[in-house]
């Protein structure tokens, strides 16, 4: 409650920014939990990619555009690609 009280004395844009930050923090927490809970590797990779995207947005609203770019490229594109290729390899060996 005290956080809301202090937010109301800021300019409207600051309140919006706070709301955006809190929303993204919650979304990142939800996505991270989803990544852990999903047990099917291929689906897990797709959710991991979404999680990377959310984390990149989080870094953006916390004013770290350079980290955003790194997270966007590594977390939501390259890491999933590398894991998908590994899964393809493993599956093939199992056949």
> For binding to another protein (CB under 8 A), which residues are involved?
65-66, 69-70, 73-74, 77-78, 81-82, 85-86, 88-89, 92-93
For the bound state, the minimum distance from the C-beta of residue 79 to another protein, rounded and expressed in Å, comes to 11
Record the tokens describing residue 68, joined without a space. 């955003």
For the bound state, the minimum distance from the C-beta of residue 70 to another protein, rounded and expressed in Å, comes to 6
Tell me whether residue 42 or residue 78 sits nearer to another protein (CB atom). Answer: 78
Q: Supply the DSSP symbol for 69.
A: H
Tell me whether residue 34 or residue 74 sits nearer to another protein (CB atom). Answer: 74
Helix, strand and coil in the chain, % to nearest 5: 85, 0, 15
For the bound state, the minimum distance from the C-beta of residue 14 to another protein, rounded and expressed in Å, comes to 11
Longest Cα–Cα distance of the chain, Å, equals: 63
Cα-Cα-Cα-Cα torsion 66, 68, 73, 75, nearest 10 degrees, comes to 130
Tell me whether residue 33 or residue 70 sits nearer to another protein (CB atom). Answer: 70
* Residue 86 CA: distances (Å) to CA of 65, 71, 80: 30, 21, 10
For the bound state, the minimum distance from the C-beta of residue 39 to another protein, rounded and expressed in Å, comes to 22
């Amino acid at each position: 409650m005290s956080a809301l009280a202090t937010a109301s004395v800021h300019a409207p844009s600051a309140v919006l920014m706070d709301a955006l930050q809190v929303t993204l923090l919650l979304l990142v927490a939800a996505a991270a939990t989803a990544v852990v809970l999903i047990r099917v590797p291929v689906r897990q990779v797709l959710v991991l990619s979404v999680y990377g995207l959310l984390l990149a947005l989080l870094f953006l609203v916390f004013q770290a555009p350079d980290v955003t770019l790194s997270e966007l490229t590594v977390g939501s594109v390259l890491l999933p690609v590398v894991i998908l290729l590994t899964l393809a390899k493993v599956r093939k060996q199992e056949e």
